[in-house]
Amino acid sequence: MDPQENDNRRCPRTGCGLAAAWCMVTLAVRAIAAQALRSYGLRRSRIRPLEGGRGEAFGVTAGDGERFVLRLSKDVSAMALRAQLDWLMSLSQTGEVTAPRPCPLRSGELFGRVSGPAMREEYLFHLVDWIAGERCESPEAFLIPERLRSIGGVVARLHDHARAPASTRIRGLPVLDEEWLIGRLSCLSSHRLAGLLDRERVAALRARMHALCRALQGLGHEEDAFGIIHGDLGPHNWVFRGEEPRPIDFAECSLGFFLYDLAGVVWSFAGREGFHEARGALLEGYAPSIALRQELEARMDWFHTAYTLGWVLAQSGTPSYGGLAEHVPDVVDRMV
């Protein structure tokens, strides 16, 4: 099975021979995707939903066998999407990192617009090259030190490119700064806290978050610490061709702290045996000197704290993770 696609098992609900995820995609969205694809002049193309089945990203196989990813977006601005694709195009031209390259429409634009059912909504769409590779078959395979050192090197090259003049001129991306992470724009400022925590814990959590916010403000937004980031570099967004790590899915591309990007690679493994060794291997690949690695590792703890609290609080109100709510007090006690 291709790691970025669903397989051909029959849907247990309908019995159809399509991938199960197809049954989660409405005919209307499929029609929109097909309409968008015509803007590229690809003949006899086959499309199918990518893993996750939410219906906004599709694998495309052209008549000649060439492969692409088509993405439909309703919740992103044209300015942000243009900035994201401009950066990806400039990254692909360097050849320093194997990453999705945007494919221009026949008009030369990097994205287009297509109307939804009954013209009531508009989607932005774009097409990028398919990145060949395999996902890690297990968490243990992802956490191999040599593999994490290679990933650290790739992330360093991504961030080096973000510091290049061509990147610093790009405007329009969302900003993931300290206020978004743990300040007034984050879920930590929400009134929902009162429903999850007692008054004393709320006060202790807010004090901890204010301290973290001041620490992040101390990093500043200069180009050595802050710039264009991938935004979601967890294991699900890496494929490997041999030993070469390749990042995929830049849909969360933003302006943010480079350490937030780096911490995201291994954040989901926090608490596992060997986590600190894994993080150390990642930093070895990312930073050239021992002194710099030690400095970065201390600061990464800030971002792991922010990741953990933000994720738990955000997911505790969703149907899939509603049971997390009862664990929020314990998590907060450990964090503060």
Domain boundary assignment for the chain: 20-129, 139-335
**What pTM did the predictor assign?**
0.85
Q: Which segments within 163-294 are labelled E, that is strand?
A: 175-176, 226-229, 238-241, 244-247, 254-257
Position 289 pLDDT exceeds 90: no
Higher pLDDT, 215 or 7: 215
Position 16 pLDDT exceeds 50: no
139-335 placed in CATH 3.50.50.60: no
Give CA angle at 227 (222, 228), nearest 5°: 175
Question: What percent of the chain is helix, strand and coil (3-state, nearest 5)?
Answer: 50, 15, 35
20-129 placed in CATH 3.40.50.150: no
Burial class (CB in 10 A: 0-12, 13-18, 19+), 178: buried
pLDDT in tens, 26-64: 677 878 888 899 899 887 889 888 865 445 899 999 988
**Lowest mean pLDDT across 8-17, 74-83, 241-250, 322-331:** 8-17
Dist CA 37 CA 126 (whole Å):
9
